Amino acid sequence: MNFALSEDHEFLRDVARTFVANEIDLARLLIPGATVADASYESNWKKIADVGWPGLIVPEAYGGSGMSCIDLAMVAGELGRALAPSPFLGTLAGTWAIIKGGSEAQRAAHLPPVAAGTRALALAVARADAPRQGQGDNANGTSRHPEPVEGLQAKSDGSGSDVVATVDGDGFRIDGTKSFVIDGGAADVLVVAAQLGAERRFFIVEARQSGVGIDVLPWRDITRQVCTVRFDGAQAELLPGAEAEVWPWVRDRLLLVLSVENAAGIEHVLDATVAYAKERVAFGRPIGAYQSIKHALADTFGARECANAAALYAAWALSEEAPNATLAAAMAQSYTSDAYVAATHQSIQIFGALGFSWEMENHLYFKRARANAAILGAPSSHRARVIDLLTAA
């Protein structure tokens, strides 16, 4: 095992970093009262589509690049470093669900437009009655309650289901509500978890049909669109893959994306905070000369190194389909989430009063860190999974 990035990976990362720095601007979100509606989703998505990134994970047979999870980590990390608002994460989620659970005909119908950047996807799995982000939070920001996506694990008899599928001639219709749908409002196609008899299955649903209603939630992370989606007899197409096989596979890859976002975010926050500590003068000296600031920055530096190692190891494990890939993904998300929250909080403290102002980017990174730490389960829930995986080995 070689943890050093290849020249190709470094080149891809550097190209992605340059592109994002030149093309993604958060200025509209640094205005007091800004919301996700100001996040330039459509224009950013067009830029990302023009360079072919939606097709990174699409197999070459369907017009994509067929790249590995390590390749994806190079790009996803740079998008996370810049908090780039776009339906990239939602499209990854929906694409992975179709790759893993779809038929050959479904892959042929949906993956080429994704690779071409003309179709955005989203994955709707969270129950409508799941706790909202922040409800029941402990002092450290982790939740005492099951996280939204864990609502996918419904009762086998369907009594706990929020979306139900019924047979309608040769097809299906679905009714109910899903919450916390990442990039749902920007999606052309939704992949939806629904109860079909005694089973949980995935369905493909055209997002623009009359039986689908989408509302953008007032999410704390205004760089990422999160929605509630209502289904009222919406036409749906069944994915043949079993939920028990599809969801864990997709979940591990989504945890990887969040982990590399976290690791890159920590690096950006550290660089910005170090630069400020060198410039800000107090009592005749740069504040970075004071021991307490040095110690805080040293802690963040250590966390950055560990976060990078954890995220890259998970990327390697998933790329190689290693037996411990699920364990690596859970460990990476658990560690990097806590580290990102701590780094962004520490950065605000070092910036002082300026760090609390809306016009600075600090709050955007803090909110992204808190959101990433909750959206697929609190770090504590992943640590519990790590224990279960280790004890079962």
Tell me: pLDDT of 34 over 70: yes
**Is residue 241 a contact partner of residue 249, using CB atoms and an 8 Å limit?**
no
pLDDT band (50, 70, 90) for residue 142:
very low
Is a pLDDT exceeding 70 seen at residue 317? yes
**Position 30 pLDDT exceeds 50:** yes
What's the rounded mean pLDDT across residues 231-242? Answer: 97
Q: Which residue has the tokens 């802690």?
A: 299
The H or E element containing residue 274 is helix 243-279
**Which pairing describes strands 121-124 and 189-196: parallel, antiparallel, or unpaired?**
parallel
- The two tokens of residue 264 are 């890159």
pLDDT of residue 76: 98
Residue identified by tokens 């690791």 is 263
Decide: 197 and 158 in contact? Cβ < 8 Å. yes
Cα–Cα distances in angstroms (integers) from residue 239 to residues 57, 173, 187, 197, 236, in the given order: 19, 13, 18, 15, 10
Per-residue pLDDT, 148: 38
pTM of this structure = 0.91
Selection from 193, 129, 128 nearest residue 165 by Cα: 193
pLDDT at 249: 97
Reduced to 3 states (helix: H, G, I; strand: E, B; else coil), residue 211 is coil
pLDDT of amino acid 393: 73
Distances 347 to 284, 305, 341 between C-alpha atoms, Å: 21, 17, 10
Query: CA–CA distance from 104 to each of 30, 98, 111, 244 (Å)?
Result: 45, 10, 10, 20
Q: How high is the pLDDT of residue 4? A: 79
**Domains of the chain: residue spans and CATH:** 7-119 (1.10.540.10), 124-241 (2.40.110.10), 245-392 (1.20.140.10)
Mean pLDDT of the chain: 91
- Residue 268 near residue 233, CB atoms below 8 Å: no
Residue 87 DSSP class: T
pLDDT score at 160: 42
Report how far residue 300's alpha carbon sits from residue 345's, in angstroms, rounded to the nearest whole number: 11
What is the pLDDT at residue 159?
Answer: 35
For residue 150, is pLDDT > 60?
Answer: no
How large is the average pLDDT for residues 267-281? 97
Q: How confident is the model at residue 134 (pLDDT cuts 50, 70, 90)?
A: very low
CA distance 137 to 8: 42
Backbone CA torsion sign across 373, 89, 161, 100: negative
pLDDT at 127: 73
